[in-house]
């Protein structure tokens, strides 16, 4: 009898000990792993996973919590995003990171707001993500800025007076960015012809022919990477000579692979450049991240099979670090406490210093412009552009 | 003027050819089984994925025939597993079964590929660029309509002149009487699916050589439009399907050229409604009198 009691006691003790040790805080990762933006979503996730591998615990009130990442796939679709967001809420996450793609972030935002769970967008650039949702913050710049940057670049670099702007009907990211670009370009005295295509279109030759016939000097086409691959391939086979400009989404291996060996001129604006050595944090991140990718073949596959550091990975890393700081500042793993502490969090991230304004957007004012090198299959750095420079 | 229209016409004819190869599959199955095979577009997509995975291990000359063979096998299996057991069931059951197969295939592809777009392999020569007048395009754009017309002529010749063709015509006229006359219905139906899948496989090679990325839903839109083409031409009629497909392909591109880019898909489906309202049998469809 004594033996049995002892055994039961030991079992109870060990269960208690285990549960005391297994204090965890769950961080939701709300990203597409499939669909039109799956390639980019995967790159953002590996940035978050790398940050998690460096900082796997967080200390709150003297207790060390293990951070558990709960990763869901929102399939790049606004209808699927809602149920993916609900899955995170049901899993009991304290804070959410993501998503790549503004449309899915806006769809998920409502679910997070209802559950009073704060979310930090990594690379969703549409203003509506934060302005329409009280529980969304973000660590990247916004489309009005990005659109203005590219409009200025089109004028300064290519002397463009007219632009052909192509966007996807019903997609918040591409229509938003296209609108802001057109507005900025027209304010500078340029003319714009804009057209839209519907989801699932695979023949873009008519659009490209329209672009040429419209007499435009450049094409601005901030599409998803899946569309970009088709667009680039068809532009190459039609020998299109107009420069093609796009936003942050196009800074992807998908674009480099499609453009390699063609004679196209492709320029993109983005959040981060791996060759920029002005910031020690960034250099350290780039080195560490490359080593981590090369040590983990499956992560390298998710990065497109190479160790080029995408801006979205850097943003994923920063978003995770902001989340950790917010949990520390809140002194609690309750989502409402974190949401209260988040506005005052400020860190020096790898993509620059991050602090939030009253809407929840990061005070960021610099974009990197890169050009796809069609011979080496890499992005070449062209220039940086800040808000102050644009005002002049 | 012609310089400006030429690129649109070229891509219109090419798109039309691709729709035609899919539309023939729809129309043949309908002609014989009175079934709209909703899974046809997904068989077309599957052919694209077969190619993507096949070329990673095999040279392209061997991969292409193998892809065609595998696609034919898939079409054959779908018929045997999902449609044959329902031969005596009401027509609606078979139709629902077809929708089920379509979603099953789509989600299987989503699961196997991880849902990311796959780059279609470059086939030598047909992926090259070629310049005609003012338009520069891929060689495949020019081959597509020619190959389509040749294949369809061959198909019509088979149906008109061979024993199996005669059996097909008999079955499409009257299912039960043909059976009574000693025609092996099952083998005739299987042959129909085999021919349909074969054309879908060829169409898939041409289509994805032009638009070189394959996603699990890539076949949905061309499949739907090919279906509209089949109805437009008169469902059950092979020449009708081909002509319908070319008309839709060219109209779509001309609408885009006129600047109404967002309406090009809407046009296709509006056309479907108009035809069903005013000429339900399509351009070349036979008027069927219900037998008592």
Angle at B19 between CA B5 and CA B49, to 5 degrees: 115
Predicted local confidence at residue A1, as pLDDT? 63
* Secondary structure of chain B as H, E, C letters: CHHHHHHHHHHHHHHHHHHHHHHHHHHHHHHHHCCCCCCHHHHHHHHHHHHHHHCCCCCHHHHHHHHHHHHHHHHHHHHHHHHHHHCCCCHHHHHHHHHHHHHHHHHHHHHHHCCCCEECCCCCCCCCEEEECCEEEEHHHHHHHHHHHHHHHHHHHHHHHCHHHHHHHHHHHCHHHHHHCCCCHHHHHHHHHHHHHHHHHHHHHHHHHHCCEECCCCCHHHHHHHHHHHHHHCCCCHHHHHHHHHHHHHHHHHHHHCCCHHHHHHHHHHHHHHHHHHCCCCCCCCCCCCCC
Residue contact B115–A75, C-beta within 8 A: yes
Predicted local confidence at residue B116, as pLDDT? 83
Which of A195, A202, A239, A255 is the best substitution to test chain B (most B C-beta atoms within 10 A)?
A202
DSSP state of A356: B
Predicted local confidence at residue A15, as pLDDT? 57
Q: Give dist(CA B200, CA B194) in Å, integer.
A: 10
Q: Which residue did the predictor score with more confidence, B291 or A176?
A: A176
* Average confidence (pLDDT) over B249-277: 88
Nearest residue on chain B to A193, judged by CA atoms? B259
- The Cα of B260 is separated from the nearest Cα of chain A by a number of Å equal to 8
Q: What is the distance of C-alpha A140 from the center of its chain?
A: 8
Read off the pLDDT of residues A314-370 as tens digits, 9 standing for 90 and up.
999 999 999 999 999 999 999 999 999 999 999 999 998 899 999 999 998 889 999
Confidence tier at A22 by pLDDT (50, 70, 90):
low
* Average confidence (pLDDT) over B28-32: 88
- The Cα of B100 is separated from the nearest Cα of chain A by a number of Å equal to 20
Predicted local confidence at residue B292, as pLDDT? 47
Q: Are A233 and A283 in contact (CB under 8 A)?
A: no
Chain A residue numbers touching B116 (CB-CB < 8 A): 34, 38-39
pLDDT score of A119 more than 60: yes
Q: Assign residue B146 a region (left: φ > 0; alpha: ψ between -120 and 50; beta: otherwise).
A: alpha
Chain B residue numbers touching A264 (CB-CB < 8 A): none
Edge-first strand order for the sheet with A162-168 is A191-197, A162-168, A218-220, A244-246, A266-270, A366-373, A378-386
Chain B residue numbers touching A79 (CB-CB < 8 A): none
A12 contact partners, CB below 8 Å, separation of at least 6: none
pLDDT score of B3 more than 90: no
Interface of B with A in 241-260 (CB under 8 A): 253, 256-257, 259
How many CA atoms, within 13 angstroms, populate the side-chain half-sphere of residue B41?
Answer: 23
Q: Give dist(CA B211, CA B214) in Å, integer.
A: 8
Q: Are B35 and B91 in contact (CB under 8 A)?
A: yes
Domains and CATH numbers, chain B: 2-278 (1.10.3470)
Q: Which of A75, A196, A237 sits opposite B129 (nearest CB)?
A: A237
* Average confidence (pLDDT) over B74-81: 96
Tokens of A330: 């809140």
In order of A28, A61, A199, A328, the CA distances from A58 in angstroms are 15, 10, 42, 7
* Average confidence (pLDDT) over A184-201: 92
Share of chain A above pLDDT 90, in %: 76
pLDDT score of A281 more than 70: yes
- The Cα of A366 is separated from the nearest Cα of chain B by a number of Å equal to 31
Bridge-partner residues for A167, per DSSP?
A196
Predicted local confidence at residue B291, as pLDDT? 45
Q: Are B215 and B114 in contact (CB under 8 A)?
A: no
Interface of B with A in 103-122 (CB under 8 A): 110, 114-117, 119
pLDDT score of B92 more than 60: yes
Chain B residue numbers touching A202 (CB-CB < 8 A): 211, 218, 221-222
N residues, chain A: 392
**Nearest-CA neighbor of A95 among A265, A359, A386, A334?**
A334
Whether ipTM tops 0.90, in short, is no
How many CA atoms, within 13 angstroms, populate the side-chain half-sphere of residue A261?
Answer: 5
* Average confidence (pLDDT) over A67-73: 95
Q: Which of B15, B137, B212 sits opposite A233 (nearest CB)?
A: B212
pLDDT score of B83 more than 80: yes
**Does any CB of chain A come closer than 8 Å to the CB of residue B206?**
no
Predicted local confidence at residue B194, as pLDDT? 95
Q: Which residues of A touch B (CB under 8 A)?
A: 33-36, 38-39, 73, 75, 169, 195-198, 200-203, 205-207, 209-210, 213, 225-226, 229-230, 233-234, 236-239, 254, 257-258
Confidence tier at B7 by pLDDT (50, 70, 90):
confident
Chain B residue numbers touching A75 (CB-CB < 8 A): 115
Read off the pLDDT of residues B161-181 as tens digits, 9 standing for 90 and up.
999 999 999 998 888 899 899
**Does any CB of chain A come closer than 8 Å to the CB of residue B134?**
no
**Nearest-CA neighbor of B154 among B118, B199, B122?**
B199
- The Cα of A39 is separated from the nearest Cα of chain B by a number of Å equal to 7
Confidence tier at A31 by pLDDT (50, 70, 90):
very high
Confidence tier at A23 by pLDDT (50, 70, 90):
confident
Among the residue ranges A40-54, A201-215, B258-272, the one predicted with the least confidence is B258-272
Predicted local confidence at residue A227, as pLDDT? 93
pLDDT score of A391 more than 80: no
Q: Give dist(CA A207, CA A164) in Å, integer.
A: 10
Among the residue ranges A15-29, A227-241, A297-311, B139-153, the one predicted with the least confidence is A15-29
Which of A175, A192, A194, A209 is the best substitution to test chain B (most B C-beta atoms within 10 A)?
A209
pLDDT score of A17 more than 80: no
pLDDT score of A108 more than 70: yes
Q: Give dist(CA A227, CA A24) in Å, integer.
A: 40
Q: Assign residue A352 a region (left: φ > 0; alpha: ψ between -120 and 50; beta: otherwise).
A: left
Tokens of A49: 């996973």
Confidence tier at A21 by pLDDT (50, 70, 90):
low
* Secondary structure of A175-230 as H, E, C letters: HHHHHHHHHHHHHCCCEEEEEEECCCCCCCHHHHHHHHHCCCCEEECCCCHHHHHH
Query: Do you find a cis peptide bond into A99, omega within 30 degrees of 0?
Result: yes
Residue contact A202–B222, C-beta within 8 A: yes
Question: What's the distance, Cα to Cα, between the start and end of chain B in Å?
Answer: 57
Compute, in degrees rounded to 10, the torsion defined by CA atoms A246, B215, B139, B13. Answer: -100
Cβ atoms < 10 Å from Cβ of A209: 24
Instruction: For chains A and B, count residue pairs whose Cβ atoms are closer than 8 Å.
Output: 94
Q: Give dist(CA A157, CA A171) in Å, integer.
A: 28
Predicted local confidence at residue A385, as pLDDT? 85
Q: Give dist(CA B238, CA B227) in Å, integer.
A: 12
Q: Give dist(CA B177, CA B171) in Å, integer.
A: 8
Predicted local confidence at residue A122, as pLDDT? 94
Domains and CATH numbers, chain A: 12-141+278-361 (3.40.50.2300), 143-270+368-391 (3.40.50.2300)
- The Cα of B140 is separated from the nearest Cα of chain A by a number of Å equal to 11
The values of phi and psi at residue A24, to 5°, are -125, 155
Q: Are A106 and A132 in contact (CB under 8 A)?
A: yes
Chain B residue numbers touching A206 (CB-CB < 8 A): 7-8, 11, 253, 256-257, 261
* Average confidence (pLDDT) over B79-98: 92
Nearest residue on chain A to B117, judged by CA atoms? A226
Interface of B with A in 14-53 (CB under 8 A): 15
Q: Are B49 and B214 in contact (CB under 8 A)?
A: yes
Bridge-partner residues for A193, per DSSP?
A164
Predicted local confidence at residue B135, as pLDDT? 79
pLDDT score of A176 more than 90: yes
Which of B116, B218, B267 is the best substitution to test chain A (most A C-beta atoms within 10 A)?
B116
pLDDT score of B4 more than 90: no
Predicted local confidence at residue B21, as pLDDT? 92
Chain A residue numbers touching B211 (CB-CB < 8 A): 202-203, 230, 233-234
Q: Give dist(CA B81, CA B84) in Å, integer.
A: 6
* Average confidence (pLDDT) over B117-130: 85
Share of chain B above pLDDT 70, in %: 97
């Amino acid at each position: 009898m004594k033996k049995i009691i002892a055994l039961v006691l030991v079992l109870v003790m060990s269960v208690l000990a285990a549960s005391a040790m297994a204090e965890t805080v769950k961080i939701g990762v709300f990203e597409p792993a499939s669909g039109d933006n799956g390639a980019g979503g995967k790159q953002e996730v590996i940035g978050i996973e790398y940050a998690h591998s460096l900082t796997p615990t967080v200390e709150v009130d003297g207790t060390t919590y293990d951070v558990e990442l709960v990763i869901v796939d929102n399939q790049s679709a606004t209808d699927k995003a809602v149920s993916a967001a609900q899955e995170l809420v049901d899993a009991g996450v304290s804070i959410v990171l993501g998503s790549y793609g503004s449309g899915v972030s806006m769809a998920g935002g409502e679910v997070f707001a209802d559950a009073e769970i704060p979310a930090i967008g990594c690379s969703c650039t549409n203003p509506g993500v934060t302005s329409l949702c009280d529980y969304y913050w973000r660590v990247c710049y916004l489309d009005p800025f990005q659109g203005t940057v590219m409009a200025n670049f089109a004028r300064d670099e290519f002397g463009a007076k007219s632009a052909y702007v192509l966007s996807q009907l019903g997609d918040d990211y591409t229509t938003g960015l296209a609108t802001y670009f057109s507005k900025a370009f027209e304010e500078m005295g340029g003319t714009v012809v804009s057209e839209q295509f519907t989801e699932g279109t695979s023949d873009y030759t008519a659009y490209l022919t329209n672009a040429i016939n419209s007499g435009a000097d450049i094409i601005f086409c901030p599409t998803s990477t899946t569309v970009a691959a088709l667009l680039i391939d068809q532009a190459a086979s039609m020998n299109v000579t107009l420069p093609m400009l796009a936003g942050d989404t196009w800074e992807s291996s998908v674009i480099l692979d499609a453009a390699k060996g063609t004679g196209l001129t492709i320029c993109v604006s983005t959040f981060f450049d791996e060759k920029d050595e002005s910031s020690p944090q960034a250099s350290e991140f780039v080195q560490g991240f490359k080593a981590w990718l090369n040590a983990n073949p499956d992560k390298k596959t998710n990065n497109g099979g190479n160790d080029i550091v995408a801006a979205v990975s850097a943003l994923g890393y920063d978003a995770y670090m902001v989340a950790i700081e917010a949990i520390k500042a809140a002194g609690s793993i309750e989502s409402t406490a974190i949401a209260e502490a988040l506005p005052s969090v400020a860190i020096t991230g790898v993509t620059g210093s991050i602090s939030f304004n009253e809407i929840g957007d990061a005070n960021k004012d610099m974009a990197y412009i890169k050009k796809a090198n069609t011979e080496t299959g890499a992005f070449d750095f062209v220039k940086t552009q800040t808000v102050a420079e644009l005002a002049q | 003027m012609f310089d400006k229209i030429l690129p649109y016409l070229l891509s219109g004819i090419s798109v039309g050819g691709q729709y035609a190869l899919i539309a023939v599959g729809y129309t043949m199955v309908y002609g014989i089984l009175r079934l709209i095979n909703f899974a046809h577009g997904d068989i077309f997509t599957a052919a694209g994925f077969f190619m993507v995975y096949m070329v990673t291990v095999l040279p392209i000359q061997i991969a292409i025939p193998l892809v065609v063979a595998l696609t034919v096998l898939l079409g054959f299996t779908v018929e045997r597993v999902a449609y044959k057991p329902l031969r005596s069931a009401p027509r609606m059951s078979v139709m629902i079964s077809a929708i089920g197969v379509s979603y099953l295939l789509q989600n299987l592809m989503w699961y196997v590929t991880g849902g990311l777009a796959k780059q279609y392999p470059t086939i030598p020569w047909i992926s090259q660029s070629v310049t005609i007048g003012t338009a520069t395009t891929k060689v495949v754009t020019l081959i597509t309509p020619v190959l389509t017309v040749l294949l369809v002529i061959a198909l019509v010749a088979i149906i008109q002149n061979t024993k199996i063709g005669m059996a097909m015509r008999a079955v499409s006229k009257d299912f039960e009487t043909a059976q009574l006359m000693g025609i092996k219905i099952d083998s005739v139906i299987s042959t129909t699916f085999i021919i349909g899948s074969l054309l879908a496989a060829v169409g898939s090679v041409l289509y994805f050589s032009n638009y070189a990325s394959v996603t699990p839903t890539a076949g949905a839109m061309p499949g739907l439009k090919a279906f509209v083409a089949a109805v437009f031409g008169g469902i059950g009629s092979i020449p009708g399907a081909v002509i319908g497909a070319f008309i839709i392909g060219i109209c779509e591109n001309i609408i885009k050229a006129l600047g109404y880019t967002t309406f090009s898909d809407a046009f296709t489906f509006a056309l479907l409604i108009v035809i069903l309202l005013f000429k339900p049998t399509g351009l070349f469809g036979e008027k069927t009198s219900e037998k008592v």
